[in-house]
C-alpha cells in the first residue's frame, strides 16, 4: 500500500549507510513507493546533505566509517532537529537499542530486515508526525484538538506545546507522543509497556530504561522542579501517572 502523495512534494528520505547494496536496495524500494530518496555513505556526507535539503525522515545505519557511528550522528541530529530517525543496523544488541531510543530515535530495526516492515514502521512515524502529505491534508480539514492542563496548551493537531506564559516548548517526537498519552489518560496509572505501545503505535518489546529516560527528559521541560515532579509521577514497580488537572 503506497502513501498517497503530492507528485511535486513526495516524502523525502535520507538513507545513511556505508553499504552500497543497502543504499541501492532502499532507494529502489522507496522510490517505487513514491518517495524521494537521497543517500549518504558516512557522517560527513550526511551533514552535507542535511545542509542542502529538507528531509521527512532519516534511515540511519549504526556502524559507519569516519570516526562517528550512528548513535553519535543521531545525537547530533536530535540536538538541532526533530526529524524522525529510524535506525537500521546489524548490531542487534539490546544496549544499542536502548541507547538509540534514549537519545531520541523514533524506531530501531535490526538487519536483515524486511522492506515491507521498514515501510510499515516508517508510515506509522510519518502519520504521527504529519510528514506525509496525505496526513497533512487530513489535518487541514480536521478540527484542531487541543488538550489543556495547569495552564499549558497541548495542540495535538499541530503537534505543539505552549507553557502557561504562551511560549512554545520544543519536544522530540517521542516526548510529544508520551505527553499526549499521559494527558489523555490523566489520573490513570500506565505501565511502561502501555506507554511504549501508545507512543510507538504497535506492541513492542518494552525497554524500561528507554521509557524512563524519555520521562526524565519530558519532566525537565514541563515540571517546575523535575526532581519533585507534580505533573508526571512515578508509581513504584508499575509505571507513571499524569496528575495534572485536565479540564
Q: Supply the pTM of this predicted model.
A: 0.55
Task: Please give the share of the chain, as a percent, with pLDDT higher than 90.
Answer: 39
Taking residues 87-101, what's their average pLDDT? 69
Q: Is residue 232 part of a domain?
A: yes
Last residue of a domain, one of 110, 135, 160: 135
Number of separate domains in the chain:
2
d(CA 87, CA 111): 10
Task: Please give the share of the chain, as a percent, with pLDDT higher than 70.
Answer: 81
Question: In this predicted model, what pLDDT tens digit does every residue of 12-70 receive, in sequence order?
Answer: 999 999 999 999 999 999 999 999 999 999 889 999 999 989 999 999 988 888 777 88
Looking at the structure, do residues 129 and 160 belong to the same domain, yes or no? no
**What separation in angstroms does the CA of 95 have from each of 92, 170, 176, 207?**
9, 27, 24, 10
pLDDT the model gives residue 233: 95
Q: Is residue 1 part of a domain?
A: no
Q: Is residue 3 part of a domain?
A: no
Domain that residue 60 falls in: 12-135
Q: CATH number of the domain at 222, please.
A: 1.10.10.10
Query: 208-222 and 94-102 helices cross at what angle (nearest 10)?
Result: 10
Looking at the structure, do residues 175 and 110 belong to the same domain, yes or no? no
Last residue of a domain, one of 135, 154, 171: 135
Last residue of a domain, one of 135, 162, 177: 135
Q: Do residues 216 and 226 touch, judged by C-beta distance below 8 A?
A: yes
pLDDT the model gives residue 133: 42
Looking at the structure, do residues 184 and 157 belong to the same domain, yes or no? yes
Residue 228 makes CB contacts below 8 A (sequence gap 6+) with none
Let me know how long the chain is.
247
Specify whether the backbone of 16 is left (phi greater than 0), alpha (psi in -120 to 50) or beta.
beta
Looking at the structure, do residues 97 and 210 belong to the same domain, yes or no? no
Taking residues 119-138, what's their average pLDDT? 65
Taking residues 64-86, what's their average pLDDT? 83
Question: In this predicted model, what pLDDT tens digit does every residue of 168-220 receive, in sequence order?
Answer: 999 887 788 899 999 999 999 998 888 887 776 443 444 557 788 889 999 99
d(CA 227, CA 96): 27
**What separation in angstroms does the CA of 113 have from each of 6, 71, 84, 85, 108?**
28, 19, 19, 16, 11
Amino acid at each position: 500500500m503506497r502513501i498517497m502523495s503530492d507528485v511535486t512534494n513526495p516524502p523525502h528520505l535520507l538513507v545513511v549507510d556505508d553499504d552500497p547494496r543497502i543504499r541501492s536496495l532502499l532507494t529502489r524500494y522507496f522510490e517505487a513507493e513514491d518517495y524521494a530518496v537521497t543517500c549518504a555513505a558516512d557522517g560527513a556526507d550526511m551533514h552535507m546533505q542535511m545542509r542542502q535539503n529538507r528531509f521527512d525522515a532519516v534511515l540511519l545505519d549504526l556502524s559507519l566509517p569516519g570516526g562517528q557511528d550512528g548513535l553519535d550522528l543521531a545525537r547530533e541530529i536530535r540536538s538541532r532537529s526533530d526529524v524522525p530517525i529510524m535506525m537500521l543496523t546489524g548490531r542487534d544488541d539490546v544496549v544499542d537499542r536502548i541507547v538509540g531510543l534514549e537519545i531520541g530515535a523514533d524506531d530501531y530495526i535490526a538487519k536483515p530486515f524486511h522492506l515491507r516492515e521498514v515501510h510499515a514502521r516508517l508510515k506509522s512515524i510519518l502519520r504521527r508526525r504529519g510528514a506525509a502529505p496525505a496526513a497533512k491534508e487530513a489535518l487541514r480539514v480536521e478540527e484542531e484538538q487541543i488538550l489543556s492542563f495547569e495552564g499549558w496548551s497541548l495542540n495535538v493537531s499541530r503537534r505543539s506545546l505552549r507553557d502557561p506564559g504562551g511560549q512554545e516548548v520544543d519536544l522530540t517526537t517521542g516526548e510529544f507522543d508520551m505527553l499526549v498519552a499521559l494527558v489523555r489518560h490523566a489520573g490513570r496509572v500506565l505501565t511502561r509497556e502501555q506507554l511504549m505501545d501508545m507512543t510507538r503505535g504497535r506492541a513492542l518489546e518494552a525497554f524500561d530504561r528507554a521509557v524512563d529516560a524519555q520521562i526524565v527528559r519530558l519532566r525537565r521541560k514541563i515540571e517546575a522542579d523535575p526532581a519533585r515532579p507534580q505533573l508526571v509521577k512515578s508509581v513504584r514497580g508499575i509505571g507513571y501517572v499524569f496528575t495534572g488537572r485536565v479540564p
